[in-house]
Structure formats: structure tokens, C-alpha cells
Structure 1
Amino acid sequence: VSQKCNELPNLIIYSLLPISSPRTPSLKRIGPHNIEILSILMGSLLGDASMERDGKGTRVCFYQERSHGEYLLWLHRTLYSLGYCKPEVPKLTIRKSQGDELRYIYRLRSYTYSSWNWVYDSFYIIKGDKRIKKVPKCIEEYLTPLALAVWIMDDGCLIKNRGIKISTNSFTLEEVKYLSSIISKKYGINTSFVKTGAINQYEIYFPKKTLSTLIEIIKPHIHPSMYYKLGNKS
């Protein structure tokens, strides 16, 4: 199925084909891809989630530190209830980071769908032997309140007595400006972008005066374990 990023009516697909069985070939998993799952995908991919493509189909991979385990398990329950992953609960695994420091990680992978290839193509470009994540041009259509909430749960951080920032370090300045403009256009929230201190890395910043509006929009979708990111307005 060939799908373009700006063809929204063609992306919310309903089908009688089984999608919740791991034995169903990826080419036959064509839906349903309703706005709920697309919002979770888009919000997560703006954050730390990634996609894997095997030639026939694409799956999404979620990773969270142990401290955010409740959030990852909520993602699992949500995906499973919608038929997008196995019922087995993700287990805590141990990884070594730089300096041989041990990291405790929860990992969740969805089923593979050929009808998610367009999402992969929207988020990634290949330069030589490197794969670079980009901001899709169609992200405005999918930056729903749920997607914004997932993005903030994934990559948001409360700045005490100031506001909330979202880590957008991997995106270019032009992409960060584009995301900021979408938030302003869709939700009437004026954000700014600030340097992180690293070369060519920026973050989106929600000033303190905008938090009441932001929280009103996203709180219905925020998992309780992430209320701390909303500060004393939770």
C-alpha cells in the first residue's frame, strides 16, 4: 500500500483482517490505524521511540528507564488493548552504558506492519550509512492532544518555578521552529526555542504563563506516574 504523509483520509483504515496475531504476515496487517494509535506513534517518535524496518514492514520500539517503568507498562497495556503488540508484559533488562555504568531498561516492540512504512519514511532519511530522524512535514495533522501529551511524557522536563521544556536535541533548528509554530497554530501556546549548550542543539520551552493552557489540553491523557512533569498544577 503506497501512502503519502498528507493523505489523512487514507491513513485511518479499518479492516476485518486480524492484526493482533504474531503469525499474521506484515503485508496483511493493514489496520485499524485509528487516530489514537497514530497519535501515540507520532508523539513517541518525536521523543525517544524508534522504528525498525525489515524490508516488508515496520515496527515501533519503545524504551524507558526503570524510573519510568509505569509509563512503559501503560504503553504496553494500551497497545495490547488495541491489538498492536503481544500480551507478554515487558521485562526489565540491564545494559551497560559508557563507563560501564549499568542501566535498567524496559523495552517494548509492536507488531510489524507494512502499512506503517509511510511513518518510517516520514521520520527517517538515510545519509550514507547513517539513519537520521527528521520531523515529518505532515506532523501538524497528527499532533493531537494525546500526541502532545505522549511527547511531553517521553521527553518533557519541568523547570522548577519556570516552565516545561521538551528535548528536541536531535532535530535541526528549522525543525524545532516548525514544531513550535504548530503548537502556536493549533493550541494558541507561544513557545520559544533555546540552546542546550551543545552545538546546534535546541529545546522547545513552554513559559510558566502558558502552563495552565498546556495542562488543560494534555492532562486528560497524562499517566499519573508522569504528573510530576506538570509541577504543582497537577
Structure 2
Amino acid sequence: MIVHKRKFYSSRIYSNKRVGPHNLDVISVLVGGLLGYCYGEKRNNSTRFVIHASSTNVEYIYSLHKLLYKNGYCSAKKPGMRKEIGKNNKVYFSIKFRTFSFTSLNFLHDIFYNESKEKIISFEIHKLLNRQAFAIWFVAHGGISGSGLMLSTGSFAYKDVVTLQRAIHQNFKILPTIQRHKQAHVLYFKKEDKEDVFNIIKDFLVDSMLYKFK
């Protein structure tokens, strides 16, 4: 496959001039992020993406920032830690950065959001869920659970979780089960699937994320 690259290093370029074509790595990162800790902001007929995660994922966020900057999708400024106040006044630290805005990436916002700006899953997700996107998603919301692996889908409705389950089965020949967990639904991979999941995503993991399989 020939992957074309287009660079947009200056924030002064108008969003409607950032027309692509887009690097497959970048699309995969954004798709995986939207399944996890990334969200899209559509305004003035253009879309930017916000990648926001806890400090436990800092090394991975830095690697994503490096990839997006290298391809011209965000500024060179390295994102820093910020103090957050969470539920029950719990203090934690997070890291966040934004991409530039693109009219040519509106299609991703339209795939992942309905008219009420709620996150949804399109039936076309299987066309976008490749190994890299799966890895980004797993780093955000996956990990060991009992003898298997659990992948959180808490922000999505049950019908969307079913769509994700089918996409994983179609693309990777693994069929996770849907289970109820803390008032939400999760995807659970049984013990015998752990090695297969790891082999699918290992090429896109940084060392600090390997604990998710131990």
C-alpha cells in the first residue's frame, strides 16, 4: 500500500487548506484515540482532536505527540502535566494536547459523533480498526482482568459495543464476550486469547505499557 504524506507544520494555515491525503498512521492513531481517551471538537466546519490521559500513560502520550508533530498535525510544544480534581475531590495529574483543525478530517467526527455530539460507533468501524488503532484503544482502556483481558467501552451504548465486538471478530478472528462491569459494558478476552491480542498490538506498544499484559 502506498501511503501519501502531507505536512501542515504551521498553525497559521487555514483549516480548509489542510486537505490531505492523510498518513495512515495518523488516521489509525486518531481512530484508536477516539475509541479511548481522545475526543473530537468540530467548529467552523473543521475538526480538531484532543488527546487527554492520566499521567500513568505519559510515555505513550509523548510517543503519540511525537508521531503527530512529525507528520505536521500538532505544534512542536511538548505537552506538560496538569493537576486535575476528579470525583470525590480526588487529585490526579493528566496530560493533554490538541491537534490543528482540519476540514478534511470532519469525516472522523461524523463517524464518531451523532447530532447531539454523543460518541457513537459506526457500522463502518471495521474498515478503520486496524492493528495500530486497536493498540491505541487498548493502551487507553485495556488491561489484565482475572485470567484474561478486559477492554473498557464505558462511554458507548450497548448496541455500539456489539458493533465493536463484531469488528474485532471480523478483523482479528478473536471473539471477546460482552460483560457487565460497574454499570457499563466491557469486552472480555479469555485467557487463551491473551497471546493473540498481544501479538496483534505489540509492535505499537512502548515498554511502559507492557505491564497491561502481566
Scaled to the shorter chain, the TM-score interval is over 0.9
CA distance in 2, matches of 1:230, 1:80: 29
Tell whether 2:202 aligns with 1:228: no
Pick aligned residue for 1:27 from 3, 16, 37? 16
Pick aligned residue for 2:72 from 76, 79, 83? 83
Contact 2:48 2:101 in 1 (8 A): yes
Counterparts in 2 of 1:76-155, with a 5 A limit? Answer: 76-127=65-116, 131-155=117-141
Residue 126 of structure 1, CA deviation = 2.9
Evaluate the alpha carbon distance shift between residue 167 and residue 17 of structure 1 in structure 2; reply closer, same or farther with a 3 A threshold. Answer: closer
Counterparts in 2 of 1:192-211, with a 5 A limit? Answer: 192-198=177-183, 201-211=184-194
What is the alpha-carbon root mean square deviation over aligned residues?
1.9
Tell whether 2:167 aligns with 1:182: yes
- 1:170 is aligned with what amino acid? S
Identity, % of aligned pairs? Answer: 29
Structure 1: gaps spanning 5 or more residues: 1-11
Q: TM-score with structure 1 length normalisation?
A: 0.86
- 4+ runs deviating over 3 angstroms: 12-18
Pick aligned residue for 1:51 from 20, 23, 40? 40
Residue 103 of structure 1, CA deviation = 2.0
- Paired residue for 2:25? 36
Query: Across the two proteins, how many residue pairs are aligned to each other?
Result: 214
- 2:29 is aligned with what amino acid? I
Contact 1:13 1:34 in 2 (8 A): no
Please give the secondary structure, in 2, of the residue aligned with 1:76: helix
- 1:209 is aligned with what amino acid? E
Pick aligned residue for 1:71 from 60, 63, 70? 60
- Paired residue for 1:163? 148
Per-residue CA deviations over 1:61-117 (Å, capped at 9, x if unaligned) read 011111211111111111111111111100111122233322211001111101111
Contact 1:19 1:30 in 2 (8 A): no
Tell whether 2:201 aligns with 1:218: yes
Contact 2:6 2:71 in 1 (8 A): no
